[in-house]
Structure 1
Amino acid sequence: MVVPSGKRRSEYVDLSLDEVREVQPTAPYKVPRISGQRFGQDTSFVPLSQASQVSLGEDEDDAGAADLIQGSQEGEDSSDTTQLHYGDLMTKIVGVRYYRGQATIGEHVVLKREPHNQYDRNAIRVDNVMGAQVGHIPRNMAAKLASYMDNRLLVVEGILTGVIGAYDCPVALKLFGPRDLERREALKRKMESDRLPLSHLKQAERQEKKKQKEREQAMKEAAKRARTGQLLGAANKLGYSNLSEPLAEEAVGEESLEELISQSSTFNPREIGQVAESFGLKESDLENMPMADSPPSLSTTLLPYQRQGLAWMISNENPQLPGSGANDVVQLWKRQGNKFINIATNFSTATPPPLASGGILADDMGLGKTIQIISLILSNSQPKTKESSRVTLIVAPVGVMSNWRNQIQDHTNPEHSPRVLIYHGTGKKEAANLNQYDVVVTSYGALAMEYKPDTKVTPEKGLFSLQWRRIVLDEGHTIRNPRSKGAIAACSLRADSRWTLTGTPIINTLKDLYSQIRFLKLTGGLEDLAVFNSVLIRPLMSDDPDSRLLLQALMSTICLRRRKDMSFVNLRLPPITSRVFRVNFHPHEQEKYEMFQAEAKGMLMDLKNKDKTSITYSHVLEVILRLRQVCNHWALAKNRLDKLAAILDKHQVVPLIPENIKALQDVLQIRIESQETCPICLDTLETPVITACAHAFDRGCIEQVIDRQHKCPMCRAEIKDNTTLVSPAAEMGEDADNVQADPDNPSSKIEALIKILTAQGQAQGTKTVVFSQWTSFLNLVEPHLQRAGIEFTRIDGKMTSLARDNSTHRFSTDPNCTVLLASLSVCSVGLNLVAANQAILADSWWAPAIEDQAVDRVYRLGQKRETSVWRLVMEDSIEDRVLAIQEQKRKLMLAAFREKASKKFDDRATRVADLETLLT
């Protein structure tokens, strides 16, 4: 991967957020990304409003823009693994006699631009995967490639094709470029004029043309078959007037559970999970793993598979270098004579490499990862070095911090129970006394807040003052964005051993695994994102069989995963049944839905046609959000952008008066509810904020930009300091709207919900968790529960941790409290809700893993009753198509470990395509 390593000059183009969003999937230039290691370097934004206008000019005024990119790949190119392979360039590395960097044939190397090299401004240095310089690209070849690298037009990866000689070394440079047709054509013409290889691209284009012809033929045949049915369907809808008034509520009679079941269809998201993932070990191997004895101070009896997990973790905290056997591989290192060779990157060294202590415990949700970690703490608490403490640090979501303390107390003998500190709120008063505890539990937010990247002196107190015995990241997929401040902070902690706990190590793509690798301190080169992409992700996407074997070797070393359905786990969980209950719109709901759908289709067409005068990406997101909200209740669908848009027409930056702050928060809420990504790190908005110029970012990302240039990276508007950033109106980014609706006119979905809750034939003592991502929808449900005489409690992001604990306790212990209204964002992590035997998913969106985690709060170890999951879906609506997208994402999570990451369903590259799918 090619990036500059120092300051350089560049032109800027003032792109709107929407323009940047449109080009992100394929653009060869990107905004900076947050760095975990190289905060002192500078880069800038590359221009190009159109691919055909390739400008290699430079602008001295913007030389101070910040390089915030981690590792050696300081552009979005580094992680855009959806790019096409254009061709291979055979050349050599020269000047090898002047450098000490070791490299062997077949080894991956990293290319870096050196625009300020005093001898050659086009210089390209070559490093091995450990960061030591091997040499540089010949002057004539560097002159040809430099402009492509500086303008992020090509991604370049290198592999040595021969041994290092006295003066040079042969190397193959793989050239990757954008997939977008317009940019591809412009770049192809430029490469042809520079006589750069394009053989792989031309072959791919021939395959594309062939597939396109096949698709067009299939579409013609499908359209011909469907034409008659479509005309009949359109005729049936001609009788609707425009936006008729809601119908009065019909009496909701009690239907039998059997009748409701007969109206539903079964839906089992776990079926796909029954395919054995290639996590390295087969089920038979997992079954025969050795067991460890339960620690004496543990009061709970461990299940056999949990004892196996304990033995595996103890072994992984004390890894041993590989022996001389041909098949003896440890953390991808093998011994060959007196050298150690990394089988992923082919890097070799005579010095014994450091091995990572720890790993990923990726057991299925509900298998007892918490008690296994407690057992590890009790079994193996002695520090490994004189500088280490004996304290274990657990980083967890706020809502489950108290659960760790309670679980430790519940599962240990009182006389040997570890001393536990909740390092949050008032617990921070103990910042200078952390080494006096056995276990410290903190949050990701508290960890990020204490992280000071520029501090070189070890603090005297706080989370960064100790060398921890071990660090445990609960819900470890939280750090999947390697540029988030929380991920960088976690990697910066000092510890003897490192663990991540997650039932979903992959949320969207294999890139999610990279953060885990970096946190665990795995050595050999994969800890660099450039090398991780080059060695693992790109080959997997190309269906390279060797890369599948490599992934298998990697996962068998660092990851242990057992599933509930594995025979030896033998949880004896009762059956679970998942059903889709399809609901028909009332006529007035149907009319509103069709109005929004027509508007969304028109907006999306304008956006694709680049009509930016009136339609922006935000408008499309909002109208699709309204479509989804109409499916739940028409009162949720409100226009929240028009007023702010009028203000922004007059001012590039709006004055931060209370009225405008509320409008900005409305725009931010749309971004959050639509699960949009940060335009800097291109990952989930974990701590979302919005600027006065109406651009939304992850707080850690934009703060790093502000610290260095005080300009919005989207529109170049001035940002004075961090105090001008506007946070969401409510915690967790949940909607803060005070929605009013006529309680006598429920939506069809609320009627369906009440039907299920009041159905005759429910098992005695049935308790239900109702999940929704909109707290305002939960507000609308409450009066109908009261009218039906149903006692309920509630958990959402606006409640304090204590209030959530009280709600959970009441739901679990009060036999009269039969319903828990739950915010999906809060209840998808950490909570134990086995008191319920029924879950209802009121709405759906892109990421199925979040919903699966929520359901697994009910269906987990400790569940004794047959469990039902109901998914409410409006018939022939956007929700039907969301289910189809979710199914593909579930396949992707497993395919990433079985075969290759699907290009088609990469979250960023198909954002607009997904929106189009939802509207067809």
Structure 2
Amino acid sequence: MDRGEIAIEAQLTADKGFYDVPTRIFIYGTSDRTRRLELEERLKADKLLKATQLKQTRAESDAQRTMGLKSGRSSAGLGTTNGLVEPEPQPEVSLEQLAQGSETVQFRNGEDFVNSIAMDEDKLSQMPMAEQPKSLSATLLPYQLQGLAWLTAKENPTFPAPGSPDTVQLWKRDAQGRFVNVGSRFAVKEAPRLASGGILADDMGLGKTLQVISLILGGGPGQTLIVAPVSVMSNWEQQIERHVLPQQAPKVLIYHGAARQSVGKSLKDYDVVITSYGTLSSEATSGNMFKVKWRRVVLDEGHTIRNAKTRVAVAACALEAQSRWVLTGTPIINNVKDLHSLVKFLRLTGGIEQSEVFNAVIARPLGYGDKNGELLLQALMQDLCLRRKKDMKFVDLKLPPKTEYVHRISFWPDEQRKYDALMDEAKGALEEFQKRSKTGQKGRFQSVLERLLRLRQVCNHWTLCRERVEDLLRFLEEKGAVVLNEKNRALLQQALQLAIESQEECPVCIDDLKSPVITYCKHTFCRVCIAKVIEVQHKCPMCRAELSEDKLVEPAPELSATQEEQELDTETKSSKTEALLKILQATLKNQGSKVIIFSQWTSFLTVIQKQLDEAGYVYTRIDGSMNPQKRDAAIHALDKDPSTRIMLASLAVCSVGLNLVSADTVVLADSWWAPAIEDQAVDRVHRLGQTRPTTVWRLVMEGSVEERVLNIQSEKRELVTKAFQEKQEKGKKTKETRMADVLKLLA
């Protein structure tokens, strides 16, 4: 254990006696075959495990890791000249013709993992209703009145009677009146503290905001703090102004930006304070918000804190409040561990709030397919989480239908040659990495990721990957740290952007990068993670180089459309942009139809923007380079200007919190790894208030990695998590997890 070769976990299996504690012990070891065999011999020699037990677990481990790959090698690359031969212009096509050539799909079939553990539809439909709030000018729908009653009840939870089979937050009372946690097996005589609050996980567009406003109005005296993405802070203020009677309206403050310094000490003068996750993180645990004992704290788009180790999650958990609420349409984005941070924020007791216990009794059993883990999670979620879907009969939104198409596009001949060359390079780089990874050579896996990223970008337009950043690859493969001059800083920023777009994980917290930075020794981390490491040991945890705050490099600022246009060839069409223009041409023939075009790359939005200019379309745009005022103006143009019928939208910025019901068509120009992000984007349009049938087009290059991304999305929708059950070094776990996706994409 001291050498880190094994990890041991233990679970109580019954009440502890005076002299004994009934316990089941779990031993986790390495996934490396050679080292595992050596470890098995020592475990047998020490009589810790039997040969039959080891044989069984070895077979299970081998089955989990079985996967194949066809490899190839080539030194072919992309040139810096155009070389594309565009086909002759095609005649206009109708929407009906486009639909006939596309595949109709239903990405969300109502059987997602959260549905399987949440309360069923019959029970939801029979929930009690609250009275219509008198201070609300809007009339709540029946399911919203049920939601208000549930919110009110969860702010005042009570224990079950002694001997009752019911549990509350996994606590139950035995016949002797003791309080026993059915998850951790903790047992106490005195009543533990119950968490006040929960998770409102209604489908996007069902009015979570309005239900919480109703709770604030009728939930007694005290202040409410609402933490939301920057893009939706103003929406909260507008919703309160629109739906609350003027004489009953609470006093609202938006606490954000430089102006907050002047009002920071007077927060107690306001009934509702609205702030951003960035502001919360910047104040850490010592700012003005942490000096107030809030009546309730509400995290809008609360999945933002799904990594409990990030600075913003730590700050959210440190806020003092009587009640704590999480609003999210996607409580699970990647895997069930996303829920742990929410449980910790809610301040549950009994041990389940600790990551080790949550992992041991819920996450790991689920990974093994153990029903006990699912039963525990089901009990917890049915108690703490309210989730209604738009397609439930009792919700009865009467939303217009939504039709989704996968529109497959064939590469033009020159595009196909460039794609094939990149695919051969990617397979060759992967094969080389697999052969030489044990030697510890730097930069090899980054080389695979760089080529995979270029493969995905060339599916959109060749100019996105015109710069093959060969300098970057050579730079990454050089050993040691570098001097932070202007050239090296720019190369480090390119390497950091590659890590971000490839969705690498932080080696410290083994989760998605949050506020990512790169060190002068070329390793990427979450800022809060590496800051803690620097504070403790002043060395890089990957290479042991001396490290300080001034050796960290942050991402380059996001370019505006004008700046990007100067660096891109935006004149030339691609097969995908031509297909997109055909969809626009056919859609905009319908009187009043408006279109949202989502892409994860703002550079591709710039390419599309140039071609919209040439075609004479009026459009608006939202991306990360714009301040809140410009974003609000862009949404206002889409809503109010009849001539503005197209919005270009960054998927990362527009997937949360916005109301885009003035549009009726969504085009997903490229696929995002986490399907929940795309689903959120679509639900900005197909939501309460939509009066027209909604059409969703997913543009996919035929026979490319884009089709395989759809397969990975399908797995994530079913929550087939990439669970590695063995104890491994953190770096290896991260690498193997990413390798699994890379193998699927390049197979």
TM-score (norm 2): 0.92
State whether structure 2 residue 275 is matched by structure 1 residue 447. Answer: no
* Equivalent in the alignment of 1:775: 602
* Equivalent in the alignment of 2:411: 585
State whether structure 2 residue 246 is matched by structure 1 residue 414. Answer: yes
Task: Report if the CA contact (8 A) 2:602-2:623 is conserved.
Answer: yes
- Cα shift at 1:794: 0.2
- Cα shift at 1:693: 1.4
* Identity value in percent: 50
State whether structure 2 residue 356 is matched by structure 1 residue 530. Answer: yes
* Equivalent in the alignment of 1:699: 527
Can you list the C-alpha shifts for 1:741-776, whole angstroms capped at 9, x where unaligned?
Answer: 555520110001101000278421110000001101
Task: Report if the CA contact (8 A) 2:163-2:177 is conserved.
Answer: no
Matched residue type, 1:480 = R
Matched residue type, 1:783 = K
Task: Report if the CA contact (8 A) 1:365-1:503 is conserved.
Answer: yes
* Equivalent in the alignment of 2:193: 354
* Equivalent in the alignment of 1:117: none
Please point out which of 544, 549, 554 is paired with 2:380.
554
Can you list the C-alpha shifts for 1:610-631, whole angstroms capped at 9, x where unaligned?
Answer: 2555751111111000001100
- Pairs aligned (count): 731
* Equivalent in the alignment of 2:420: 594
Please point out which of 266, 269, 289 is paired with 2:104.
266
Matched residue type, 1:846 = W
Structure 2 distance, partners of 1:740, 1:839, is 28
Task: Report if the CA contact (8 A) 2:570-2:606 is conserved.
Answer: no
Alignment of 1:677-692 (within 5 A): 677-692=505-520
Alignment of 1:482-521 (within 5 A): 482-521=308-347
Question: For the structure 1 residues 808 and 182, does the alpha-carbon distance in structure 2 shift closer, same or farther, using more than 3 Å as the test?
Answer: farther
Task: Report if the CA contact (8 A) 1:735-1:775 is conserved.
Answer: no
The residue matched to 2:744 in structure 1 has which SS? helix
Matched residue type, 2:120 = K
TM-score (norm 1): 0.75
Structure 2 distance, partners of 1:634, 1:567, is 47
- Cα shift at 1:338: 2.8
Matched residue type, 1:326 = S
* Equivalent in the alignment of 2:33: 181
- Cα shift at 1:734: 12
Task: Report if the CA contact (8 A) 1:435-1:466 is conserved.
Answer: yes
Question: For the structure 1 residues 902 and 789, does the alpha-carbon distance in structure 2 shift closer, same or farther, using more than 3 Å as the test?
Answer: farther
Structure 1 distance, partners of 2:157, 2:506, is 38
Deviates more, 1:355-364 or 1:203-212: 203-212
Matched residue type, 1:518 = K
Question: For the structure 1 residues 642 and 244, does the alpha-carbon distance in structure 2 shift closer, same or farther, using more than 3 Å as the test?
Answer: closer
Structure 1 distance, partners of 2:154, 2:61, is 46
* Equivalent in the alignment of 1:377: 216
Structure 2 distance, partners of 1:211, 1:803, is 49
Question: For the structure 1 residues 761 and 832, does the alpha-carbon distance in structure 2 shift closer, same or farther, using more than 3 Å as the test?
Answer: closer
Alignment of 1:728-767 (within 5 A): 728-730=555-557, 740-759=567-586, 762-767=589-594
* Equivalent in the alignment of 1:284: 122
The residue matched to 2:632 in structure 1 has which SS? helix
Please point out which of 227, 247, 251 is paired with 1:395.
227
Please point out which of 227, 241, 262 is paired with 1:429.
262
Alignment of 1:266-345 (within 5 A): 266-273=104-111, 277-336=115-174, 337-345=176-184
The residue matched to 2:380 in structure 1 has which SS? helix
Please point out which of 464, 480, 494 is paired with 2:290.
464
Task: Report if the CA contact (8 A) 1:635-1:740 is conserved.
Answer: no
Question: For the structure 1 residues 639 and 715, does the alpha-carbon distance in structure 2 shift closer, same or farther, using more than 3 Å as the test?
Answer: farther
Matched residue type, 1:723 = D
Report which structure shows greater RCO (CA 8 Å, sep ≥6).
2
CA RMSD of aligned residues (A): 2.9
Structure 2 distance, partners of 1:765, 1:396, is 31
Question: For the structure 1 residues 403 and 809, does the alpha-carbon distance in structure 2 shift closer, same or farther, using more than 3 Å as the test?
Answer: same
- Cα shift at 1:519: 0.6
Structure 2 distance, partners of 1:396, 1:583, is 38
Structure 1 distance, partners of 2:108, 2:137, is 33
Structure 2 distance, partners of 1:733, 1:471, is 35
Task: Report if the CA contact (8 A) 2:307-2:338 is conserved.
Answer: yes
Alignment of 1:69-84 (within 5 A): none
Structure 1 distance, partners of 2:133, 2:624, is 37
* Equivalent in the alignment of 2:44: 192
Question: For the structure 1 residues 645 and 584, does the alpha-carbon distance in structure 2 shift closer, same or farther, using more than 3 Å as the test?
Answer: closer
- Cα shift at 1:341: 1.1
* Equivalent in the alignment of 1:916: 743
The residue matched to 1:798 in structure 2 has which SS? coil
Question: For the structure 1 residues 614 and 316, does the alpha-carbon distance in structure 2 shift closer, same or farther, using more than 3 Å as the test?
Answer: closer
Structure 1 distance, partners of 2:424, 2:79, is 15
* Equivalent in the alignment of 2:729: none
Please point out which of 205, 227, 235 is paired with 2:58.
205
Structure 2 unaligned residues grouped into runs of 5+: 71-77, 727-732
Task: Report if the CA contact (8 A) 1:445-1:486 is conserved.
Answer: yes
Can you list the C-alpha shifts for 1:830-873, whole angstroms capped at 9, x where unaligned?
Answer: 11111110000001132111111111111111111000000010
Question: For the structure 1 residues 785 and 368, does the alpha-carbon distance in structure 2 shift closer, same or farther, using more than 3 Å as the test?
Answer: same
The residue matched to 2:37 in structure 1 has which SS? helix
Whichever structure has more helix as a proportion of its residues is: 2
Can you list the C-alpha shifts for 1:810-845, whole angstroms capped at 9, x where unaligned?
Answer: 111101001000000000111111111000000113
Larger Rg, first or second structure (1 or 2): 1
The residue matched to 1:667 in structure 2 has which SS? helix
* Equivalent in the alignment of 1:852: 679
Matched residue type, 1:414 = P
Structure 1 distance, partners of 2:559, 2:369, is 39
